[in-house]
Amino acid sequence: MQTIKTVVEDLAKRIHEGSDPTGEAQLIVAHVLDMDRAAVLAHPEKPVSQTELRKCIKLSRQRGRGYSLAVAFGYKDFYGMRFLVTKDTLVPRPETELLVELSLRELHERKNGSLLDVGTGTGNIIVSIAKSVANPDRYHFFASDISRRALSVASENARRKHVSIHFMRSNLFGKLKSRRYDIIVANLPYLASGEMNEPSIGREPKLALHGGEHGHELYQKFVSELPQVMEPGGVAFIEISPVIATELETFCQNTLPQVRRKIHPDLAGHPRVLELRFS
């Protein structure tokens, strides 16, 4: 009879990617046995059935082929909620929760208005905002993505969380210029061409990661078009890579000199969100 200890040891050998194969093996066992990781560590002698073992091996093989555990499990927790994820969507990162916090603070100050999430992916940002804001009926929520499959996932996440969001397919602001928005949030692709072969990104959708040859081309286009879609007094919160933070802030200064800028650091102290506030 296999035990948690022996299964974890076996799975760790199957997982070639990642810096912590044993930790990932423990998470797989915890997922299949419906336990938390602490319980897995506390009960190494617990028996594992053949059915459970087969499920564990299947998940470890997916991880070994480069898929993240979130895609293998079919979900990822973000801002205290569980979101459906697939191979067609970027896996939500904890750092992105800062976008949610800043947006909620802004909505609280405004009491009403419209908010657009550009490049919504799983919809984790816009759904978290719509689910967490006080008096959601006072606001209008919109979200866009270039990927039809990503929009399908985002729509399902919105349905599961019982929030009302209008989803649109668009490449940046291409099809969104028929109206203006009070708040715009975005977490755009920011990997440069030379970073696209990094093992850490595995099989995540390249469309959601590639930001151009230098990694900032999409951001520059996004920033340049902001005045066409922002309401007077509007604000944009843009998640950025610390690598391009200085260059992007300089670009904003040259392109939109009248717009107030502010960089918000993440918990590690790295530049993470660029705020652009319009007059």
Burial class (CB in 10 A: 0-12, 13-18, 19+), 14: middle
**Same domain for 211 and 137:** yes
**Same domain for 224 and 97:** yes
* Mean pLDDT, residues 128-150: 95
Q: Identity (one letter) of the amino acid at 98?
A: L
Residue 83 in domain: no
Residue 82 in domain: no
Token pair in block for residue 190: 């920011």
pTM over 0.85: yes
CATH code (residue 163): 3.40.50.150
Going through 37-108 in order, the beta strands assigned E by DSSP cover 47-48, 75-78, 81-84
**Same domain for 261 and 159:** yes
Residue 77 in domain: no
Q: Enumerate the β-bridge partners of residue 142.
A: 116, 166
**Same domain for 181 and 119:** yes
CA 180 – CA 168 distance, rounded (Å): 14
* pLDDT at site 108: 94
Place of tokens 């005045």: 227
**Same domain for 49 and 150:** no
* pLDDT at site 14: 85
- Helix, strand and coil content of the chain, in percent to the nearest 5, comes to 45, 20, 35
pLDDT at 247 over 90: no
Rounded to 5 degrees, what angle do the CA atoms 270, 271, 274 make? 160
**Same domain for 58 and 130:** no
CA 26 – CA 15 distance, rounded (Å): 12
**Same domain for 233 and 137:** yes
Residue 74 in domain: no
Residue 71 in domain: no
pLDDT > 90 fraction of the chain, expressed in percent and rounded: 74
CATH code (residue 52): 1.10.8
- Full residue range of the structural domain in which residue 26 is found: 2-65
pLDDT band at 222 (very low <50, low <70, confident <90, very high): very high
19-23, 79-83, 123-127, 225-229: which range is least confident on average? 19-23
**Same domain for 265 and 142:** yes
CA 167 – CA 66 distance, rounded (Å): 30
